[in-house]
Chain A
Amino acid sequence: GENVEQHPSTLSVQEGDSAVIKCTYSDSASNYFPWYKQELGKRPQLIIDIRSNVGEKKDQRIAVTLNKTAKHFSLHITETQPEDSAVYFCAAPGIGGADGLTFGKGTHLIIQP
């Protein structure tokens, strides 16, 4: 099945600075890469996703980049704000999506005032 590695496990940045979270995956057939945000005590929610026919996607202050050759993708958050504090998960489907999503272990993003 798919193996997804995510780092760092914890990331602390000053408010207003940028944050970058990186993930690698193992299944070269994977072609959909979502990012979920989970606030403390809440459910995970999709914030952005990218399909393999593009290398980058942006939505206001967040962006995701994908390098299929290297099998890695990254989440970029610019101008970080206190409400960005949460755990972020990357994910990838295995074997054409038939196996469901495999999630990374998560990154706890802390925004320092």
Chain B
Amino acid sequence: DAGVIQSPRHEVTEMGQEVTLRCKPISGHNSLFWYRQTMMRGLELLIYFNNNVPIDDSGMPEDRFSAKMPNASFSTLKIQPSEPRDSAVYFCASSQGGGSYNEQFFGPGTRLTVL
């Protein structure tokens, strides 16, 4: 199994541009999580999907952030317009079963830099 796949691994963009991060969960996993990691705020849950349905998006910082999961094998996190304070490492994770009671497998992360 290839594990959770994320792309791109690095993204450098200018303030105001749209950024789209992509994630492919492990086959057979039905829960998918997006996290943001910064030195100041640590590892924060942004949104979590179960069976492609958003269950908890209370961590999405503001309307500039949106996430979709059109099918069981693909999810996107979009930031429009991007701002320098969005610079962080964004992780996608997947797990079997609903809720947070099972091991989450993290992808390698996308390091986003907004200039």
Q: Is the CB of B108 within 8 A of A100?
A: no
Given A43-B91, A43-B109, A93-B100: A99 touches B58 (CB 8 Å cut-off): yes
Q: Is the CB of A46 within 8 A of B104?
A: yes
Q: Is the CB of B43 within 8 A of A100?
A: no
In the complex, number of A-B residue pairs with CB atoms less than 8 Å apart: 57
Contacts of B48 in A (CB 8 A): 100
How many residues from A make CB contacts under 8 Å with B? 24
Q: Is the CB of A103 within 8 A of B42?
A: yes
Q: Is the CB of B106 within 8 A of A44?
A: yes
> Does A81 interact with chain B (Cβ within 8 Å)?
no
B residues neighboring A (CB under 8 Å): 33, 42-45, 48, 55-56, 58-59, 91, 98-101, 103-104, 106-109
Q: Knowing that A99-B100, A100-B59 are A-B contacts, what are 5 other residue pairs whose CB atoms are under 8 Å apart, sorted by A's residue number?
A: A32-B101, A93-B99, A93-B101, A99-B58, A101-B100
